[in-house]
Amino acid sequence: MDAFYASVEQRDNPEFAGKPVIVGAPPRMGRGRGVVSAASYEARRYGIHSAQPISRAYRLCPNGIFLPVRGKRYVQVSRKIMAIFREYTPLLQAISLDEAFLDMTGTERLFGPAEEAGRSIKAQIWEQEQLTASVGIGINKLIAKIASDLEKPDGFVIVHSDKVESFLAPLPVGKLWGIGKKTEEKLANLGIRTIGELARLSKKTLQDIAGNMGLNLWNHARGIDDSSVISSREAKSISNETTFGKDVTNRERLFETLFILSEKVGYRMRKHEWIGRTVVLKVRFQDFSTLVRHSTLPKPIFMSEAIYSEIYTLFENLTLHQPIRLLGVGMTQLSPAREQQIDLFEEADEKRKKVTQAVDELKDRFGERVIGKGGTIYK
């Protein structure tokens, strides 16, 4: 969707049409501490963009229309739009309230070629909701995502399979998933600024630059992406649990088990390139009573050590009134790292990054039980 929150406000308030609309915490005398959640295209001409301090937006456009975030309203509209998508395919992966991947494979007999279906979807959204959407069509998620961003607002870009290389070549490397600021700076220092220039680098060079992500970058620079459209109904959480053969009271054994479970959950998240914000601890006692505790973090995590750190705190705060028969560790509020352009290892320190990558590679080859990282598991 195009400038979704701001577009909804302009539609709901016709007097705002054609005017700069900024959605975020309304500033008081230009000193608000909030951030811009969305800016209409009229507001963007003043240099206003998402995640910008609202006070700066006020200075750039003091005569703009500053509005609070109406979360419930945007959710209502989003549900209507997602319902339109589901009329065309059940393989729908919502990335946010205003963006989704649709796998149209096998729907040609119903809706015609992908181009025809894409235009039909755009027209239906406009007819039902009076909002514009930008559509990108490609042979995989990577190409479709990049295409959808190129001609906003009201864009429509189709990339045929024989045009992928020429389509990607002139684009800046920052358009690719997994290239964060640090990686972009490293590439710029090597004189690599476009995807075409990136595609000329060898796998080894890219692995030296980006570590475990190097192979992904090599593939993506060539338009190769085998990730599936994962229905939001499929990927709710990742968890592992174990039931003891005999009920346990020994705290060291319990913490060791939680450490191993955290390692398993972290490995699965990295393998499938998920990040998550809520850590879940599950404890079942001898009498089958069960406690579930959650910890929601300000930033998403994926490293096993970070998961275990939260689990350790949650478990420490429990009152253990009887022996334990089952422990479980999980992550919810999941989202794909690549769709948010997060490099799973970019922010990790070099030592942890190398150890984690090495252990993950061994598990990929020999199975999850082959090895685990050591650490302080009980204090």
- Distance of alpha carbon 21 from alpha carbon 12, whole angstroms: 12
Residue 281: strand pairing partners: 293, 329
Pairing of strands 135-137, 99-102: unpaired
Catalytic residue among 9, 42, 99, 263: 99
- Distance of alpha carbon 208 from alpha carbon 262, whole angstroms: 29
Residue 178, Cβ density class (10 Å: 0-12 exposed, 13-18 middle, ≥19 buried): buried
Q: Are 76 and 10 in contact (CB under 8 A)?
A: no
- Distance of alpha carbon 51 from alpha carbon 375, whole angstroms: 37
Among the listed residues 36, 85, 88, 89, the one whose alpha carbon sits nearest the alpha carbon of residue 60 = 36
Please give the structure tokens belonging to residue 288: 């089958």
- Distance of alpha carbon 232 from alpha carbon 248, whole angstroms: 37
HSE value, Cβ hemisphere, 13 Å, CA-based, for 252: 1
- The DSSP-derived string for 184-208 is HHHHHHTT--BHHHHHTS-HHHHHH
Give CA angle at 151 (159, 103), nearest 5°. Answer: 45
* Catalytic status, residue 99: yes
- The DSSP-derived string for 76-139 is HHHHHHHHHHHTT-S-EEEEETTEEEE--TT-HHHH-SHHHHHHHHHHHHHHHH-----EEE-S
Please give the structure tokens belonging to residue 178: 């997994």
Rg of the chain, C-alpha, whole Å: 24
Three-state secondary structure call for residue 210: helix
- Distance of alpha carbon 74 from alpha carbon 37, whole angstroms: 12
- The DSSP-derived string for 282-311 is EEEETTS-EEEEEEEEEEEE--HHHHHHHH
Return the active site residues.
99
